[in-house]
Structure 1
Amino acid sequence: MRHRTTQVGAIQTFYREAGADDAPVLLLPHGYPGSSFVYRHLLAALGDRWRLIAPDLPGFGYSATPAPEEFGYTFDAYADFLYDFVNTLELNRYAIWLHDYGSQFGLRLAMREPDRVACLIIQNGDIYEDEFGPKYDGLRELWANPGAESRRGIAAHVSLEGFRDEFAGELPDHVADRIPPDLWTLHWSLMGTPERMANLVRLLEDQPSTLPWFERQQAYLREHQPPTLIVWGPHDGYMPEGSARAYHRDLPDAELHLFDGGHWLLETHLDEVAPVVRDFLNRVHPPSRRGAPGPDPV
């Protein structure tokens, strides 16, 4: 695994990378409240055959935090940043991992240049509003009444306890102790500046802007039918099992695997998820024979 920085426009951007430079690419945009750290185990598990690239988005992790006048901290701004990132690294073809907010950024990247997309892997990233879980109920109330009071309600979740709830909420007891406290303590320590916290509130406030995109994203899936693997943890207050199954409306051939976990499967069920992903990528996004290593590990 390598830890690198690059300039994406004026933004110094940290990213983690594993695998050979000429291996097929798996792009890993992260969501809220994470960073490239959430993909560390996946990079180690699949870097023998694929080139995995996980950036820290602006204002997250170890990347720079530009002023709001220089970067918008909206879903549009992050989608544009991801496009600029892949072009900076000269990535011409890639699989995209779609998780949490990263599913919005990744899907917009896919829609922008569909021919560059080898396949999609969807892990608890939802685009079907009618299948929203109960944890969205409080957000809907805030969305329906934007303004200062709503902003205070959103800001209340930008806290150590709020981060802990995002990482460890809704999990049954036999799974909850697999979530390391490093997730919320590390990410809170990295987020804990007034500038970063304010920028994160801006992004959370902008989430209603994603709703009109859902229909367009569903249309993209119906039209282009990218090879798709769905790996999902149904113990998710935002995205229960129905959110995963809804993808079959537009991708009837997508492979769906449900695991006894929640929103952060790579922390709790990596040993089960990684072989499924490996099998899928070997079939639809394989390394070239010249660059491929020996037999897959058992």
Structure 2
Amino acid sequence: MVDVHHRYATVLGRRMFYREAGPQDAPAVVLLHGFPTSSFMFRHLIPLLADQYRVIAPDHMGFGLTDAPRADEFDYTFEALTDHTEKLLADLGVSRYAMYVQDYGAPIGWRLAVRNPAAVTAIITQSGNGYEAGFVDSFWEPIWAYQREPNPLTEKALREAFTLDAIRWQYVTGVPDETLVSPDTWHHDHQMISRLGNDRVQLALLLDYASNVPFYPRLHDYFRSHRPPLLAVWGQGDPVFSPAGARAFADDLPDAQIHLLEGGHFLLESALDEATELIREFLARTQRG
């Protein structure tokens, strides 16, 4: 059995929660979660990696057990979330690491990599988009409409994403056997984003997501210049980021290892064993020479 520690750190004046396991002197693997979840999404993966790696999974600002100040008290942008993640890693003495990015974790991870390319030893992306290819229009069109014109009508459409039914939909859509996905997942996430004032936090981040696509050319330059090893392990039934998002990484990283597995947006909930085998093989090759 591997001990998983549940810790807090003060970062730029805010309290951040993170899960940590594995030897302190082992190669580091940083797990960056997406919307609407937290490091909770990695609860099963962490022990499966921590026998050989120092695994760190923070909750982003506004999510999980990390501080969630009101939207008028904190600048909820992906730049700000990256600032806190970067400082947390520095405070923990993590200067080189492989990263695992999913959903919102991707634009945070991309910014970390572009800011400090030498720090990133490898990338695992699981429904962590880095190209315009992959956006599923039916999911993203209400978000794009809100970004073009934030008003009560476009905001109302987005608030549907915060409901229990919508969060459940993210978890089970594309999963061949829905009974493999524990209802604990969507109930946990719904409870956390339903805290007083968190709706405005989530709306601010959805608005700022518009900054991520213009950032992609810088990401692609980084890929071509630094050639980080990359594994894309993706749910082929993902209703948010389609398999085209996974395949696109090969445009700039021809050696990218791309695997489409049966599953949806939260692949680890239904295909943990298959995904973990690919991840461990990839890390063994890229982290230990």
- Give the TM-score category using the shorter length: over 0.9
* Structure 1 CA distance for aligned equivalents of residues 93 and 231 of structure 2: 25
The residue aligned with 1:138 is 142
Unaligned runs of 5+ in 2: none
Q: Is the 8 A contact 2:127 2:241 kept in 1?
A: yes
2:155 aligns with one of 151, 155, 166: 151
2:170 aligns with one of 166, 173, 187: 166
Query: Once the 2 structures are TM-superposed, how far is the Cα of residue 277 of structure 1 from its aligned partner?
Result: 0.9
- Give yes or no for the alignment of 1:182 onto 2:205: no
Q: Is the 8 A contact 1:154 1:205 kept in 2?
A: no
Query: Once the 2 structures are TM-superposed, how far is the Cα of residue 70 of structure 1 from its aligned partner?
Result: 4.3
Q: Is the 8 A contact 1:110 1:116 kept in 2?
A: yes
Q: Is the 8 A contact 1:46 1:278 kept in 2?
A: yes
The residue aligned with 2:53 is 50
Query: Once the 2 structures are TM-superposed, how far is the Cα of residue 285 of structure 1 from its aligned partner?
Result: 0.8
**AA at the equivalent of 2:88:** F
Aligned residues: CA RMSD: 1.6
Unaligned runs of 5+ in 1: 288-298
Query: Once the 2 structures are TM-superposed, how far is the Cα of residue 197 of structure 1 from its aligned partner?
Result: 1.9
Query: Once the 2 structures are TM-superposed, how far is the Cα of residue 249 of structure 1 from its aligned partner?
Result: 0.3
Question: Normalising by structure 2, what TM-score?
Answer: 0.94
* Structure 2 CA distance for aligned equivalents of residues 231 and 43 of structure 1: 17
1:220-259 deviation line (CA, Å, top 9, x unaligned): 1111110111111110122111111111000100111111
Change (3 A) 1:151 1:175: same
Question: Normalising by structure 1, what TM-score?
Answer: 0.91
**AA at the equivalent of 2:191:** S
**AA at the equivalent of 2:81:** Y
The residue aligned with 1:126 is 129
Q: How does 1:77-116 map to 2 (within 5 A)?
A: 77-116=80-119
Give the secondary-structure state (helix, strand or coil) at the position aligned to 1:16.
strand
* Structure 1 CA distance for aligned equivalents of residues 286 and 245 of structure 2: 24
Between 104-113 and 77-86, the greater mean CA deviation after superposition: 77-86
Between 142-151 and 39-48, the greater mean CA deviation after superposition: 142-151
**AA at the equivalent of 2:121:** A
Give the secondary-structure state (helix, strand or coil) at the position aligned to 1:21.
coil
Query: Once the 2 structures are TM-superposed, how far is the Cα of residue 3 of structure 1 from its aligned partner?
Result: 0.7
Change (3 A) 1:139 1:200: closer
2:221 aligns with one of 219, 222, 226: 219
The residue aligned with 2:233 is 231
The residue aligned with 1:5 is 8
Give the secondary-structure state (helix, strand or coil) at the position aligned to 1:230.
strand
Q: How does 1:53-64 map to 2 (within 5 A)?
A: 53-64=56-67
* Structure 2 CA distance for aligned equivalents of residues 83 and 47 of structure 1: 21
The residue aligned with 1:296 is none
